[in-house]
Structure 1
Amino acid sequence: MVANLKWVPQNEIGEPLVGQDKKISIGNLESKRDWGFVGDYVEAMWLMLQQPKPDDFVIGTGETHSVKEFIQTAFDIAGLKNWEDHITVDKRFYRPAEVDLLIADPSKANRKLGWKPKTSFKDLVKMMVECDIKFVQKQIEGNLR
């Protein structure tokens, strides 16, 4: 699963990280997902295209992390320890057909393509946090382009 925070507008996650006093509304904190970096997945796609015959592959990290763990990690990276002060759980954001656990088994891709994800969960969250902080800082400065 490609990490994607479409359920949280970009400035929503970035505002508390740059000191803005705003709460973020989140759905199910206990949902577990296989968070991964799109750059790693593009590499896997390229390797698939190099094969002599088409085949099906499952691409993912093979690890699972909860939404809560994602948020805790993001706030830790930003130097904010009391993430609970910035988060509100809102049932409106629960998925109607919630799946508690989504995890990929990339063993075939590893075996046949020699592919493994290179980006750790923490590094992925760090990239996203740094991007969100820059985005909000540019908004505050009025330099968003």
Structure 2
Amino acid sequence: MSDVRTALVTGVTGQDGTLLARRLVAEGVQVHGLAHSAADRDAWAGPAGVQVHVGDLTDTAGVEQLVRDVAPDEVYNLAGISSVAFSWEHPVLTGAVTGLGAVGVFEAARRLQESSGRRVRVVQASSAEIFGVPDQAPQDESTPVRPVSPYGAAKAYAHQMAAVYRSRDLHVATCVLYNHESPLRPQAFVTRKITAAAARIAAAGTGTLALGSTDVRRDWGWAEDYVDALVRAVRHGVADDFVVATGRTHSVAEFVAAAFARVGIEDWQQHVVTDPRFVRPVDPGEVVGDATKAREVLGWAPTVEFEEVVGRMVDHDVALVREGA
């Protein structure tokens, strides 16, 4: 059991927020969540007992009031625009939500700590996108931060502001999360798009999957492992930055091959077409993380191999197809 009494999770209706809420509720923690809209709140299939508040991360006064009212021991900032492609279309909004919105959370936590006289712990969900096109592989906590997308830039600002708030005696840890997946991923993400397509094509016996470049390589892990890292980081005695990754890369083509193999299709190339609309203006190419610090300091390690991550997602989508969902 955790000795944490209350936690606030922004972005609670997303993949990581849902998994985190399940874990915290199981620990006996009173969980409050922040959802962007009433529709998101009402459609959320999260654990019972979570009190979900509706609000906008750009409403800093509203965020501060929520933090004051909830008075959490732990704050998990997972909210923000999570699509790199969307960030290219809406760079100003991305900066406001993912960058400035995070700082609003930090400031609200700092003010609560100051007024209450008790420690408030915060963890920021950072991203490997802050490294842009890195000049070293694998990347670790010393890798230069130089993003190449609006999403990466917004995350970089929040990441660096976390360090600023640490200097003001606020416990703000960051987890630089590399790609992590589960069946809770929406189909707007290429990984879930692939697994859903594999299930659909296997059931129909025909069909195509439109993708951008399949040569892009990523470091993919299991989302529950990465949520575990967030919890470990926020509860560690010293707030710090931690790269969270498997240290292994696979191409999009390998992801597709693994997904189609799970449903018994070996000639996956016949079902995949390249669509220029899905090619990013700038793509960092191979991104792989070195989680040595997280392993040595937090005792964290990934537990699910790449093929099993893909397989679990495909199995979920196969079940949905059979149910007619």
- TM-score norm. by structure 1 comes to 0.88
Shift of 1:92: 1.5
| Equivalent residue, structure 2, for 1:52 | 237
Matches within 5 A, 1:51-130: 51-130=236-315
Map of 2:88 onto structure 1: none
Q: Which amino acid aligns with 1:2?
A: H
**SS state at 2:225 partner:** helix
Unaligned runs of 5+ in 2: 1-178
Offset of 1:18 from its aligned partner? 2.1
1:107 is displaced (CA, Å) by 0.9
CA contact 2:218–2:249 (8 Å) conserved in 1: yes
Do 2:219 and 2:288's aligned partners in 1 also have CA atoms closer than 8 Å? yes
Per-residue CA deviations over 1:45-93 (Å, capped at 9, x if unaligned) read: 1111221121110111111000000011111111111101211111221
Find the aligned partners of 2:248 and 2:196 in 1 and give their Cα distance.
Answer: 27
Amino acid aligned to 2:263? A
Measure, in 2, the Cα distance between the counterparts of 1:109 and 1:18: 41
List, as ranges, runs of 4+ consecutive aligned residues in structure 1 with deviation greater than 4 Å.
none
Q: Which whole-Å CA distance do the structure 2 matches of 1:72 and 1:12 have between them?
A: 12
Deviation at 1:11, TM superposition (A): 4.1
Which is higher, the Rg of structure 1 or of structure 2? 2
Q: Which runs of 5+ in 1 are unaligned?
A: none
- Equivalent-residue separation in structure 2 for 1:63 and 1:79 (angstroms): 25
Higher relative contact order (CA 8 A, sep 6+): 1
Q: Which amino acid aligns with 2:241?
A: D
Q: TM-score, normalised by structure 2?
A: 0.41
The alignment yields a C-alpha RMSD, in angstroms, of 1.7
* Structure 2 residue 191 is the aligned partner of structure 1 residue 2: no
Q: For each residue in 1:99-144, what CA deviation from the matched residue of structure 2 results, as whole angstroms up to 9, or x when unmatched? A: 11111111110111111100100110000110111122222xxxx3
Partner AA of 2:295 in structure 1: N
- Alpha-carbon separation, structure 1, partners of 2:224 and 2:254: 22
Report the structure, 1 or 2, having the larger strand content. Answer: 2
Q: In 1, Cα distance between the equivalents of 2:313 and 2:194?
A: 12
- Aligned position for 2:99: none
Q: How many residues align?
A: 140
Distance change (3 Å), C-alpha of 1:78 and 1:11: closer
Distance 1:77 1:12, change over 3 A: closer
- CA apart distance, 1:17: 2.7
Q: What is the deviation of 1:20?
A: 4.0
Is 23-32 or 91-100 further displaced after alignment? 91-100
